[in-house]
Amino acid sequence: MSVDGRVVVVAGATSSSGVATARALVAAGARVVAVGSNVERLSAFERSVPDAATRVCDLSKLTAVAELASSVAQEFGGVDGLIHLVGGWRGAAGITAQSDDDWAAMESGFTTLRNTSRAFFDSLVASEAGRLTIVSSNSVERPTAGGASYTAAKAAAESWVRSVADGFRRAQSGDKTSPTPQRAAAVRFSIMALVDDDMRRDNPDKTYAGFTHVDALGQAVVDLWQGDAAELNDSRIPLG
């Protein structure tokens, strides 16, 4: 098994992690469909990863995501991967400082995950090697007052992906007389934080200890297609 020739949708592709992941997938032979909501940022992405296809979509709208999923499946003949990289960090001084604006920003990442995973679920089940993944946070296991909104949204996203994993298992379990092998896997990567080359260049004195480089994330995504789906499904993989 490998990602070579697979159709992989990268949601939130215009971030540094999205660019790095798309580059790694393209280099490994995948057919990448990069999705973003900002036309200018997608244009910049196209210059960085010219071999990837791009699509503009408001991932917060289920109807728009359903149309995206249908068009991608028709154009590319199916979908083998959904890499959901929509999100960001917002923190505050403590519990009372957690603002509604901060929560709304964090909640949007969960909303887009619900939409993309529902819209692409059937295609991933139909694939001979479907993969879905998110990037979660170590803080889910060690919540802090300052990161309450961020961590709560990440915890919700992890729970949702575990439910998707159960959905994959049930869809592909077959029956006792004709069991079918597990082909799809939903996986959670866990990190402390991400770092890219621009961040290191802008802050040369900072060590970024414990951070995960976006290139390492990209390689970890590529490697998902080399693992056994039954073992990968519902797994939580630390990166760092």
Q: Would you state the pLDDT for residue 175?
A: 61
Interatomic CA distance for residues 157 and 44, integer angstroms: 28
Encode pLDDT of 51-99 as tens digits: 999 999 999 999 999 999 999 999 999 999 999 999 888 888 999 999 9
Q: For residue 2, tell me if it sits in a domain.
A: no
Token pair in block for residue 114: 């619900």
Distance of alpha carbon 238 from alpha carbon 157, whole angstroms: 16
Question: In whole angstroms, what is the distance from residue 208 CA to residue 214 CA?
Answer: 13
Which pair of tokens denotes residue 4?
Answer: 């070579």
Compute the distance between CA of residue 9 and CA of residue 132 in angstroms, rounded to an integer.
10
pLDDT on residue 91: 87
Could you tell me if residue 176 is inside a domain? yes
- 115: how many CB neighbours lie within 10 A of its CB? 25
Look at the alpha carbons of 2, 229, 10, 98 in this order and tell me if their dihedral is positive or negative: negative
Q: 25, 235, 230, 28: which is closest to 129 by C-alpha?
A: 230
The CATH number linked to 109 is 3.40.50.720
**What integer is the mean pLDDT of 188-214?**
95
**Number of structural domains found in the chain:** 1
Does pTM surpass 0.85? Answer: yes
pLDDT score for 89: 84
Q: Is residue 117 part of a domain?
A: yes
Within the chain, where are the H helices? 16-27, 39-48, 62-76, 100-126, 148-171, 197-202, 214-223, 229-232
Q: What confidence score (pLDDT) does residue 200 get?
A: 95
Q: Strand 235-238's sheet: what is its strand order?
A: 53-56, 31-36, 7-11, 81-84, 131-137, 185-191, 235-238
- The reported pLDDT for the residue numbered 232 is 97
CB 17 within 8 A of CB 214: yes
Helix axes 100-126, 62-76, angle to 10 degrees: 30
Confidence of residue 213 (pLDDT cuts 50, 70, 90): very high
Q: Is residue 155 part of a domain?
A: yes
The pLDDT tens digits of the residues spanning 146-189 come to 999 999 999 999 999 999 999 999 999 766 665 678 999 999 99
pLDDT attached to residue 190:
97
* Within a domain: 132: yes
Question: What's the rounded mean pLDDT across residues 185-207?
Answer: 96
Residue 171 is predicted with a pLDDT of: 93
| Nearest CA-CA partner of 148 in 159, 158, 137 | 137
Residue 160, in any domain of the structure: yes
Task: Please report whether residue 95 resides in a domain.
Answer: yes
Residues 227 and 186 sit within 8 Å (Cβ to Cβ): no
**Structural domain includes residue 1:** no
Residue 191 lies in domain:
7-238
Residues 135, 191: contact at Cβ < 8 Å? Answer: yes
Q: Which pLDDT belongs to residue 238?
A: 97
Q: What is the pLDDT of residue 147?
A: 95
pLDDT of residue 178: 58
In angstroms, rounded to a whole number, what is the distance separating the alpha carbons of residues 93 and 60?
A: 28
Nearest 5 degrees, angle CA 138-CA 143-CA 148?
115
Residues 3-43 have pLDDT tens digits of: 999 999 999 999 999 999 999 999 999 999 999 999 999 99
